[in-house]
Chain A
Amino acid sequence: MRLLYFAWVRERVGVGEEEVTPPPEVTTVADLVAWLAAASERHAAAFAEPARLRAAVDQVFVPLEAPLAGAREVAIFPPVTGG
């Protein structure tokens, strides 16, 4: 699974993208965020507060409860601030 990070999430993790293979019990975006938070200190700094995060699965915005089934690309980022 390809992960993309944007804005301060990218800065805290230290990379804009990475390839991961989550365990089978990771079935939702929220599960993925919790799993990533345990990956390293940098990941913990980015993913410690899920309420401040938003996500897209295969380039479509989804709530954190959304399932990951079959997802190829998951993006995790702060609330958007365009316009």
Chain B
Amino acid sequence: MLVSPVAIDVAAELAAIERDGAVASFTGLVRGDDGVATLELEHYPGATEAALVRLAEAARARWSLTAATIVHRVGPMAPGERIVFVGTCAPHRGAALEACAYLIDRLKTDAPFWKRETVGGAARWVEARDGDDAAAARWQ
């Protein structure tokens, strides 16, 4: 569980959780839609780390996991950079795939991060999407 100011090394993160028969992962990249030049991630130090640990514990309580990891970038980044990585490892694919989807869906609504994008020199805070609430709610 990590909040990272530097680039996410997916190969290293995967290698660290390859401890059983099935590994699943999700990597989110900064989109360059609508001319977005930079994206800056603000977070709530302390509460962010606690929220990510709670999410991983909830996933471990729900599925039989050998490993679970979440790495989220903070600070300024450019389109194409990795913003988030979620990885899970379990004896079989079902648990690994479901827990991975659970973690990224819940992270969107349960962890205190805020995106600010710069388009044409003007900065704006990204609005939350109703679809994110719906995606998180399906795991209730």
Chain A residues with a Cβ under 8 A of chain B:
4, 6-8, 56, 59-61, 75, 77-83
Give the interface size class of chain B: 20 to 34
| Cβ contact within 8 Å between A80 and B113 | yes
| Cβ contact within 8 Å between A59 and B46 | yes
| Cβ contact within 8 Å between B28 and A77 | no
| Cβ contact within 8 Å between B125 and A78 | yes
| Cβ contact within 8 Å between A81 and B128 | yes
Q: How many contacting A-B pairs (Cβ < 8 A)?
A: 69
Q: How far is the CB of A67 from chain B (nearest CB, A)?
A: 19
Q: Do A82 and B107 form a contact, CB below 8 Å, given A6-B112, A8-B125?
A: yes
List 9 contacting pairs A-B, 8 Å CB cutoff, sorted by A: A6-B44, A59-B50, A61-B51, A75-B112, A78-B114, A79-B128, A80-B114, A81-B128, A82-B111
Q: Do A4 and B111 form a contact, CB below 8 Å, given A79-B128, A81-B128, A83-B28?
A: no
Q: How far is the CB of B39 from chain A (nearest CB, A)?
A: 10
Q: Do A81 and B84 form a contact, CB below 8 Å, given A6-B42, A56-B44, A56-B47?
A: no
Within 8 A of A (CB), among B68-93: 72, 83-84
Q: How far is the CB of A66 from chain B (nearest CB, A)?
A: 15
Within 8 A of A (CB), among B98-118: 104, 107-116
